């Protein structure tokens, strides 16, 4: 076809040893809404970031309206009419919506009240045309998230974009707002714009797009017309068919129930409901996997269990006693360890050495300090021993941990979390960004914890990992557990469907 | 999604535009946000660069920079009088600088040492006014206690809005400086004015019992011991206690500290109490040890200079001793060049340039020059 408004050919992008985009071909046409579907980490955002000039491709070429384009920066992309609405908005909180939109415009030096009034009208008219309503004269911080997104969209339109990329646009919206957004997309399409939307929500894709491209693990799997496909097929494409999972051999070690969560309601940071009537159970000597697409409450679940977040309704019973208040120290002292999502952000202090990083959770104990004084020499020996036992490769004990490799950082983190013999470990994406060897090491550690009688709640987006390790897999969707399957009967496709919010179907796997 | 790469480097890549011929520059600047620690020699280099920069201005004034610097150095360190004067100036710088260093360690940007010092001096003076006849020991002890408490309270007034309402401490601590200075004006012009002072603003002279002991015939007072003791205690606390460990964690990664169960708000309050308290001691030592009465301009900006002192020492308590003496010397040296016709503001110019180069150095350090593939 000649009328591709966007064409990407053989795009390769590597981050270190990880290939985020592997020979990706992609094209979109004017007057269509094109959905780019894939799990988190499939490479959707990376590909779109290259189109909008945030990243540069290592290989491959990009054609805009049939012409080879050299997109070296977001500015280049803007000149070519490519605008991107990012997942986390790029807005100045203290400026009004209109001021944000005209920001960076060089056309006029003098900006009197008349000019601003004129711009307000212009922006309002533009918004109205595409069904995007928001108060133009109010500062951004007073607007709802949905309104902020509309400001972002109008900003790209105002700057003359005719290729508009929306990165996970519905992840922050309420269902009603999402509905409105799709209406806007239709109007944009009719106006001859090219709309590209990355998402992992199948229902929305079916409802709003004309064509769908599916990515998986950095590769482009297929491009289909929405009319010719259905959710089942998309789910299959998204999670893949390969049944490579070599389930870790195990004996039954299950013991008493360790953690019982009953009908828990939790709010996210902005008052949105994050966990909704969620119940689950973890027993001693059991690995319970929580599968789900990012942003369905996993983060909040981990935070509640580790004492970082309070809950509104429901109860948590741990080790036979009811947990009354959210307290990090309380959680640590009762034997809950935590491998957080982003190890360098919240798990380790990069500037400090191994000793300080290992002491994080135990420095208050008798063993490591007395009368408020740290037992420096003893702690050093203890750290030395842990570093050796967990085979952490570090030049010196005092080398800042940010200089270690990702695998060694994670080993250090595990050393700390395992060293005080936890009863329960809450591990969130424990192998994210690790290579094959390091991943295997982490899996081994989790299995060891299991066989020593500890419970593990493994929150991961990597379905393979969950299938390999878990005794039971729970699927979280919209803050609630919508399905469960045990180790024996775990079915990749079924779980993939549930992750997309589609409940059991008659006749499919049990 | 881009995988998070371990060293979180290469956040920004500044690359020169390719030349028209298609040839590319082989060098590029790369920003590496993980390089937060500049090398140990960066403060020394900053001082040297500042001296060079100011030399240009001195030369433009028609004087030889070498002569001026020599004069300054001799004035500050060359004579025993000069040296003790330098030490006298170093005392408040050391105490305030230490307080600032404690707060900056966990990124609490207290710039209110000036105000905290002022209220410390006022509270100490209050003791002399309301309990004029106490014996020496009780008088000094009470003045010290009141001075510390007042400074700490002034620090608390910055800490509480920060922890409970998210108010930026830079603004509150700076504004409270003006409140403190105006309150000082009020008491020295009003209620505490010396009735026998010929209507000059200022409190009555302190008695011998209300003054800190001095060394021989010099003006060097025992406040130096306060400062040194505080440095040692602080050093030991940070290095060997759980509290110090918690500060280190918060300083290095507040999110991780929260995940380790550390109450950051509590620490902000503690740190501001200490920070203000130390500045309060400095204020007490100034009135009781140097001026022997409360008056306007009790501090020629010690609280602000101490920020540079702390920064130059890289918040290291032992380094603080060196930098506070250096800056004490700068102030005294500035006075001594007045005799050859240069304004003493030359020392402020030097102070400013040192800070400028220091901060610029921290920034530049984060960029690396890389050869493109």
Q: Is the pLDDT of residue B99 over 90?
A: yes
User: Residues A148-159: what's their mean pLDDT?
Assistant: 91
Please tell me the distance in Å from A26's CA to the nearest CA on chain B.
17
Give the gap in angstroms from C-alpha B323 to the nearest C-alpha of chain A: 25
Say which of A43, A46, A345 has its CB closest to residue B255. A345
Q: Across residues B53-69, what is the average pLDDT?
A: 89
- In sign, the C-alpha dihedral spanning B307, B308, B311, B313 is negative
Nearest CB to A352: which of B240, B241, B252?
B252
Residue A246 — pLDDT band, cuts 50, 70, 90?
Answer: low
Q: CA A467, CA A499: separation in Å to the nearest integer?
A: 14
Q: Is the pLDDT of residue A143 over 90?
A: no
Query: Residue A319: phi, psi to the nearest 5?
Result: 55, 40
Tens of pLDDT, residues B218-277: 888 989 999 999 999 999 998 899 999 999 999 999 999 999 989 999 999 999 999 999
pLDDT average, residue stretch A19-26: 88
CA pair distance B265, A213, nearest whole angstrom: 48
User: Distance between CA A300 and CA B147 in Å, rounded?
Assistant: 47
Give the number of other CB atoms < 10 A from CB of residue B343.
12
Q: Which one has a higher pLDDT value, A236 or A57?
A: A57
Mean pLDDT across A396-423? 87
CA distance, residue A489 to nearest chain B CA (Å): 31
Q: What is the Cα Rg of chain A in Å?
A: 25
Cβ neighbours for B362, distance < 8 A, ≥ 6 positions apart: B38, B42
Rounded Cα gap, residues A350 and A357, in angstroms: 9
pLDDT (mean) for A217-226:
89
Instruction: Count how many pairs of residues, chain A against chain B, have C-beta atoms within 8 Å.
Output: 111
Of residues A506 and A127, the one with the higher pLDDT is A127
Q: Which of B6, B37, B240 sits opposite A351 (nearest CB)?
A: B37
Q: What CA–CA distances, in Å, run from B53 to A64, A508, B2, B350?
A: 52, 79, 45, 9
- The secondary structure of chain A in percent helix, strand, coil, rounded to multiples of 5, reads 35, 25, 40
At how many degrees (to 10) do helices B42-60 and B302-312 cross? Answer: 130
Task: For residue B98, count other CB atoms closer than 10 A to its CB.
Answer: 31
Which chain A residue shows the shortest CA-CA distance from B245?
A356
| Confidence category of residue A361, pLDDT binned at 50, 70, 90 | confident
CB atoms B245 and A359 under 8 Å: yes
| Among the listed residues A217, A250, A238, the one whose alpha carbon sits nearest the alpha carbon of residue A450 | A250
- ipTM surpassing 0.85: no
Q: Tell whether B245 lies on the interface with A, counting CB pairs under 8 A.
A: yes
Which residues of A244-375 form beta strands (DSSP E)?
Answer: 257-267, 273-283, 287-291, 313-318, 321-323, 336-339, 369-370, 373-374
Strands A472-477 and A480-486: antiparallel
| Chain B residue at shortest CA distance from A167 | B1
Q: Tell me, yes or no, if B7 comes closer than 8 A to chain A by beta carbon.
A: yes
- Answer yes or no: is pLDDT of B22 > 80: no
Of the pLDDT bands very low, low, confident and very high (cuts 50, 70, 90), residue B124 is: very high
pLDDT band at B370 (very low <50, low <70, confident <90, very high): low
Distance CA B285, CA B275 (A): 16
Mean pLDDT of chain A: 85
Considering only CB atoms, B1 lies closest to which of A45, A347, A405, namely A45
Segment A391-419 mean pLDDT: 87
Higher pLDDT, residue A193 or A142: A193
DSSP assignments along A220-246, one per residue: EEEEEEGGG--HHHHHHHHH-------
pLDDT at residue B372, as a whole number = 53
Region A77-102: what's the mean pLDDT?
88
Distance from CA of A49 to the nearest CA of B (A): 9
Is beta strand A59-64 parallel, antiparallel or unpaired with respect to A67-69? antiparallel
Whole-number Å distance between alpha carbons of B138 and B132: 11
């Amino acid at each position: 076809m000649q009328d591709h408004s966007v064409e990407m050919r053989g795009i390769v992008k590597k981050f270190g040893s990880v290939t985020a985009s592997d020979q990706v071909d992609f094209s979109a046409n004017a007057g269509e809404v094109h959905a780019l579907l894939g799990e988190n980490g499939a490479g959707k955002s990376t590909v779109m970031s290259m189109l909008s000039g945030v990243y540069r491709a290592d290989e491959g070429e990009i054609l805009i309206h049939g012409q080879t384009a050299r997109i070296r920066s977001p500015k280049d992309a803007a000149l070519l009419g490519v605008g991107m609405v990012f997942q986390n908005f790029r807005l100045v909180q203290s400026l009004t919506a209109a001021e944000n939109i005209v920001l960076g415009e060089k056309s006029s030096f003098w900006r009197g009240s008349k000019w601003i009034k004129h711009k307000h009208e212009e922006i309002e008219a533009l918004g109205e045309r595409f069904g995007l309503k928001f108060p133009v004269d109010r500062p951004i911080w007073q607007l709802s998230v949905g309104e902020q997104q509309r400001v972002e969209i109008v900003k790209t339109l105002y700057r003359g974009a005719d290729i508009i990329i929306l990165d996970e646009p519905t992840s922050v919206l309420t269902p009603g707002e999402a509905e409105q957004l799709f209406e806007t997309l239709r109007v944009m399409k009719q106006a001859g714009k090219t709309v590209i939307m990355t998402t992992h929500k199948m229902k929305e894709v079916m409802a709003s797009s004309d064509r769908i491209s599916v990515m998986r693990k950095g590769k482009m799997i297929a491009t289909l017309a929405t009319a010719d496909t259905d959710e089942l097929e998309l789910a299959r494409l998204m999670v893949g068919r390969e049944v490579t999972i070599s389930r870790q051999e195990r004996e039954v070690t299950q013991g008493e129930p360790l953690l019982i969560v009953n009908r828990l309601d939790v709010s996210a940071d902005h008052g949105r409901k994050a966990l909704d009537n969620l119940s689950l159970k973890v027993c001693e000597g059991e690995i319970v996997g929580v599968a789900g697409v990012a942003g369905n409450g996993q983060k909040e679940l981990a935070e509640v269990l580790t004492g970082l977040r309070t809950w509104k309704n429901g109860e948590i019973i741990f080790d036979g006693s009811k947990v009354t208040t959210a307290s990090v120290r309380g959680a640590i002292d009762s034997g809950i360890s935590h491998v957080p999502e982003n190890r360098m952000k919240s798990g380790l202090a990069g500037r400090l050495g191994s000793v300080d990083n290992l002491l994080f959770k135990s420095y208050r104990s008798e063993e490591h300090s007395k009368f408020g004084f740290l037992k420096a020499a003893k702690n050093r020996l203890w750290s030395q021993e842990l570093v050796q036992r967990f085979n952490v490769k570090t030049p010196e004990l005092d080398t800042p941990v940010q200089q270690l490799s990702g695998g060694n950082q994670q080993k250090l983190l595990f050393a700390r979390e395992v060293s005080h013999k936890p009863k329960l470990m809450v591990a969130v994406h424990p192998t994210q960004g690790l290579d094959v060897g390091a991943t295997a090491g982490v899996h081994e550690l989790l299995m060891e914890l299991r066989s020593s009688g500890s419970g593990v709640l493994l929150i991961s987006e990597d379905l393979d990992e969950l299938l390999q390790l878990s005794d039971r897999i729970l699927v979280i969707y919209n803050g609630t557990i919508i399905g469960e399957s045990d180790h024996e009967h775990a079915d990749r496709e079924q779980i993939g469907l549930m992750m997309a919010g589609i409940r059991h179907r008659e006749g499919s796997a049990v | 999604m881009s995988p998070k790469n371990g060293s979180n480097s290469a956040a920004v890549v500044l690359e020169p535009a390719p030349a028209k011929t298609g040839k590319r520059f082989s060098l590029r600047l790369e920003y590496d946000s993980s390089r937060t620690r500049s090398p140990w020699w960066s403060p020394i280099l900053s001082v040297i660069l500042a001296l060079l920069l100011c030399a240009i201005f001195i030369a433009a004034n028609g004087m030889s920079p070498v002569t001026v610097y020599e004069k300054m150095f001799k004035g500050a360190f060359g004579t025993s009088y000069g040296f003790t004067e330098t030490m006298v100036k170093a005392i408040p710088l050391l105490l305030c600088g230490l307080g600032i260093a404690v707060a900056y360690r966990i990124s609490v940007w207290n710039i209110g040492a000036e105000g905290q010092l002022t209220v410390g001096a006022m509270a100490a003076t209050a003791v002399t006014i309301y309990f004029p006849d106490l014996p020496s020991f009780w008088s000094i002890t009470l003045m010290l206690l009141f001075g510390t408490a007042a400074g700490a309270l002034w620090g608390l007034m910055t800490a509480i809005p920060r922890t409970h309402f998210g108010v930026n401490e830079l603004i509150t601590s700076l504004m409270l400086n003006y409140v403190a200075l105006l309150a000082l004006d009020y008491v020295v012009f009003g209620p505490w004015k010396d009735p026998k002072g010929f209507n000059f603003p200022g409190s009555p002279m302190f008695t011998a019992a209300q003054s800190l002991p001095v060394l021989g015939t010099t003006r060097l007072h025992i406040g130096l011991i306060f400062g040194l003791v505080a440095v040692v205690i602080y050093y030991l606390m940070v290095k060997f206690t759980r509290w110090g460990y918690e500060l280190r964690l918060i300083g290095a990664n507040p999110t991780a500290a929260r995940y380790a169960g550390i109450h950051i708000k509590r620490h902000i309050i503690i740190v501001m109490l200490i920070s203000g308290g130390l500045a309060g001691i400095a204020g007490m030592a100034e009135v009781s040890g140097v001026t022997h009465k409360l008056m306007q301009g009790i501090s020629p900006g010690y609280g602000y200079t101490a920020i540079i002192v702390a920064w130059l020492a890289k918040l290291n308590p032992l380094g603080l001793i060196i930098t506070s003496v250096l800056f004490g010397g700068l102030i005294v040296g500035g006075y001594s060049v007045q005799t050859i016709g240069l304004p003493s503001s030359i020392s402020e110019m030097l102070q400013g340039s040192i800070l400028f180069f220091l901060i610029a150095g921290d920034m530049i350090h984060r960029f690396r020059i890389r050869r493109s593939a």
